[in-house]
Amino acid sequence: MAGMVTLTIDGREVTVPEGTTILHAAEALGIEIPHLCYCPGLEGTGACRLCVVEVEKVRGLVVACMRRVAEGMVVHTNTPRVREARKFVLELLLSRHPGLCLSCDKSGDCKLQQYAYELGIKRPFFEVRDPGYEVKDDLFIVRDYNLCILCGRCIRVCRTQGADILDFMKRGIETRVGTPLDRPLLESGCDFCGSCVSVCPTGALMEKARLGKGREWELEKVPSRCSYCGAACELNYHLRRGEIVKVSSPRPVAYLCARGRFGYGYLQSGERLTTPLVRRGGELVPVDWDEALSLVAENLHQARERYGAEGVGGILSPLVSCETAYAFQKFFRAGLRTNNVDCGLRVGAGLELLRHADAVTGGPEGYASWKDVLEANVILLVGDVCQRVPATWGYLKRAVGRGAKLIYLGFYKDRPARLAHVWLQALPGEEPLVLARLAWLILQKPTYRTLAERVPYFASFAEEVERLARVEVSVPEENLARAAELWSEEARGVLLLPVDGVSPATGKAALNLLLLTGRREKALFPTSAFVNAQGVWRLGGVAEFFPGLRPVSEAASEFAAFWGRVPNGTPGLSLTAMLRPGSPVKALYLLGEDPLGSYPGSGSIAAKLGELDFLVVQDLTLTKTAEKAHVVLPLASLPETGGTIIATHGEKHHLSSALSPRILMPWQVFALLAAKMNLELNLSAQELLLNEIKAVTPEFGLVPAERKLGFWELGEVGPGRGDSQLKLTALAFYPSFYRQDWLKLSGLEVLLPYEGNFVALSPEEELEEGAVVEVSTPYGAFTTRVHLDKALPRGVAAVPAFSPAAAALFPLEAPWGSVPASIARA
């Protein structure tokens, strides 16, 4: 067979592709060759020499992680000569490893310990010398380079998917791993993804919070998924006596961001609510569940009776499981017979763009996977995806390493800008213009023009593109031409789009580029900040659809059959409509949502909440919104409830319950409420809900969508270059997240300047670092500190997405564009 090589390892024949290393070929036979510096998922360097093997007709021993296989090669992996050499290598390493396995936290998970045991090293042959390095007590990570064996895995993984801040420093016996000038990790630009800890074979790099919390074999490992964003990365919780002591990735090089790896503190924070609270005489006081739920049932019932279906509403979080979401919407639609049920995905363009995404791809089946990203020839990255969904960075870097061309559209000069082949530095608000310009450039090519002309309504599209392409933008002409060339000429293209983090026009203009180049299948990778955005909206979590994306106006009778009660056939109010002052909603139930803390337009939301007769908030902690509620109910988190989630790129996962909640599960709460209202809704168990979802929508809502025939019209966009007004934009700064309170309770706010309370400006503006200023927009004003950021262009100010500043300064209807702003010293 061409390109294949057959060799013999330990007497067994194996055929592998040309270029495979001996180590990998052995793996294919299930033979494990000991290795320290080689790490699955990283390039080998052949530093440690532990993986030496004997190859017949080759004089010296051969390094298995580096040597490529050859036809007819005969390899022996476990001869006395090999074992002797390995033992010697290990002896040398141990001579500089003053570790005490007796008390080392790594014990039981340490490669050095494992191989010393396997090779039968009873006592070290050489005297053990202690290098005497100072132990570096960094944020989240403790670095004890006395235990380091200089395998270089941390350096390579930091280069591959991290911030690239480590290297070997000095030389010879003085060599050690370090940051530039030996600065602490935080000052060195570390992202705290913890990949270095994950790959370290010894106890040199350890999670700080894990130290002293038990030996490896005492920890219970529960596989789960991260609930911090729509990527839903795979992770393991390691628990001791029911408490999370560390989080690990399932494979050494699998990426987890700082939030996933170190951000679990909120789950077991003392701030968690454990008992319901009700308002008495202006104060929230603890009561038992029965009393609180009676009050909720009574008030919801009264509001429904008095104000009708429009008078009650529920808003749920896109961070809950499918089962929880399904139960909540069923309680409202079937129980209270109102379709006023909506979720946080509505804020911004998230919902609209996910629907458009389906109209391009024909449904989630047609989305691109991580594999498609890795194998792409050209990648178009729009906006601050890498801050919102940090896992994308690792994949992007690998894809570019494999030859993909990256086009990055964004104003912020951070890592994607450096990695990109073409950086389209559009100022905030110019993005749709730049994308339209690319479309125009591509349309100049006869082949694309001919293809596009066949698309319905082409004329109006061509006209719009023509008009928008004439608006001057700040991106240099040659960059635009280069990007248009790459996007139209390279074979496999993937668009990485943060659906909840761009303006609708930007999203639509980007999708138009997919349509224009005939890329419908496996070419769109949607991302969002919400772990279960897809699950929640597909299973009835938005006003206009019953579960399975069945339109409310058409499917009432269909659902009457499932639910045994005829639901209301009138579409409900969206979240934005419900929260608008003067809306008909009088009793509101918020499940895991904190509009005052995380939605833009907090001023008008506060006014609306003041109009309510009754507000019930169910959340993990006493949020800003909960402080205003009449009843507050504790909520079990996703790692506690477990259940089904659908990552934004369409992968469905079933999670087991990783932590035992000390409170009622959310569906139990809805079941008790239903019972108090004499409603039979069958909400009492997760399995019941799961089975019901399967009956209602066997595809779990991941249904094929009708494909859009023409292009999207962008409407009014602009203003383009030449507008001298300061533009304010909400930008996800690492490690931002939808629920800032979770980051704070987990101690992650230290990764941001001024703990996230700042407005970022270019150093070219006439203000100094730390200056206290008032930022004003047409929607509100906010006093905060100036943080000078070299990555920002002049004329652009940015506040962290999801921050109180963003909440005050942007409107609920359009949070992800730019707004004109002024800044003055306070």
Partner 1 sequence: MSEAVTVTREIVAKYKGREGVLTHILQDIQGRFGYLPPEAMEVVAEEMGVSLAELYGMASFYARFYFAPRGKTVIKVCRGTACHVRGSERVLAKFSEELGLKEGETSPDLSFTLEAVNCVGCCALAPVVMINEKVFTASDPGKLLAALRQGENRDQDH
Task: Return residues touching partner 1 (CB under 8 A).
Answer: 155, 158-159, 164-171, 178-181, 188
Three-class secondary structure of residue 177 per DSSP: strand
Which residues make Cβ contacts (< 8 Å) with residue 255, sequence separation at least 6? 161, 193, 195, 233, 249, 390, 391, 393, 394, 395
Write down the least CB distance from residue 734 to partner 1, Å.
18
From residue 77, give the alpha-carbon distance in Å to each of 85, 112, 229, 826: 12, 19, 44, 71
401 versus 715: smaller Cβ distance to partner 1: 401
Write down the least CB distance from residue 816 to partner 1, Å.
30
722, burial (CB in 10 Å: exposed 0-12, middle 13-18, buried 19+):
exposed
Mapped to the 3 state alphabet, what secondary structure does 767-793 carry? CCCCCEEEEEECCEEEEEEEEECCCCC
13 versus 174: smaller Cβ distance to partner 1: 174
Nearest by Cα to 759 from 739, 737, 733, 735: 733
179 versus 506: smaller Cβ distance to partner 1: 179
168 versus 457: smaller Cβ distance to partner 1: 168
Three-class secondary structure of residue 648 per DSSP: coil
DSSP state letter for 78:
S
185 versus 343: smaller Cβ distance to partner 1: 185
175 versus 444: smaller Cβ distance to partner 1: 175
Write down the least CB distance from residue 422 to partner 1, Å.
16
Using N-to-C axis directions, what is the helix angle for 666-676 and 322-330, rounded to 10°?
Answer: 10
Write down the least CB distance from residue 188 to partner 1, Å.
8
CA dihedral 655→660→661→662, nearest 10 degrees, is 170
From residue 792, give the alpha-carbon distance in Å to each of 150, 164, 227, 737: 38, 21, 30, 20
Write down the least CB distance from residue 484 to partner 1, Å.
25
Of the chain, the end-to-end C-alpha distance in Å amounts to: 75
Write down the least CB distance from residue 164 to partner 1, Å.
4
Write down the least CB distance from residue 233 to partner 1, Å.
25
CB 210 within 8 Å of CB 641? no
Write down the least CB distance from residue 418 to partner 1, Å.
8
Backbone angles phi, psi at 267, to 5 degrees: -65, -35
Write down the least CB distance from residue 583 to partner 1, Å.
52
Nearest by Cα to 247 from 258, 257, 261, 228: 261
53 versus 155: smaller Cβ distance to partner 1: 155
Widest pairwise Cα distance in the chain: 92
What is the Cα–Cα distance from 259 to 734, expressed in whole angstroms? 10
172 versus 281: smaller Cβ distance to partner 1: 172
Write down the least CB distance from residue 45 to partner 1, Å.
14
Helix extents (H) in 125-207: 153-161, 195-199
Write down the least CB distance from residue 236 to partner 1, Å.
29
Tokens of 350: 């998230």
Nearest by Cα to 224 from 210, 238, 213, 212: 238
Instruction: Please report how many Cα atoms fall inside a 13 Å half-sphere around the Cα of residue 479, on the Cβ side.
Output: 18
181 versus 459: smaller Cβ distance to partner 1: 181
Which residues make Cβ contacts (< 8 Å) with residue 695, sequence separation at least 6? 562
2 versus 181: smaller Cβ distance to partner 1: 181
CB 379 within 8 Å of CB 494? yes
165 versus 322: smaller Cβ distance to partner 1: 165
Write down the least CB distance from residue 508 to partner 1, Å.
35
169 versus 287: smaller Cβ distance to partner 1: 169
165 versus 578: smaller Cβ distance to partner 1: 165
What is the Cα–Cα distance from 282 to 768, expressed in whole angstroms? 43
Mapped to the 3 state alphabet, what secondary structure does 348-415 carry? CCHHHHHHHHHHHHCCHHHCCCHHHHHCCCEEEEECCHHHHCCHHHHHHHHHHHCCCEEEEECCCCCH
130 versus 182: smaller Cβ distance to partner 1: 182
Write down the least CB distance from residue 765 to partner 1, Å.
16
Tokens of 502: 């761009």
What is the Cα–Cα distance from 721 to 356, expressed in whole angstroms? 28
- In which element (H, E) is residue 299 found? helix 289-307
Which residues make Cβ contacts (< 8 Å) with residue 547, sequence separation at least 6? 326, 329, 538, 539, 540, 693, 696, 697, 701
Write down the least CB distance from residue 167 to partner 1, Å.
3
DSSP bridge partners of 525: 496
- In which element (H, E) is residue 326 found? helix 322-330
185 versus 673: smaller Cβ distance to partner 1: 185
Three-class secondary structure of residue 90 per DSSP: helix
What is the Cα–Cα distance from 480 to 438, expressed in whole angstroms? 6
130 versus 764: smaller Cβ distance to partner 1: 764
Write down the least CB distance from residue 402 to partner 1, Å.
19
Nearest by Cα to 426 from 380, 371, 392, 360: 380
Write down the least CB distance from residue 155 to partner 1, Å.
8
133 versus 458: smaller Cβ distance to partner 1: 133
Write down the least CB distance from residue 395 to partner 1, Å.
20
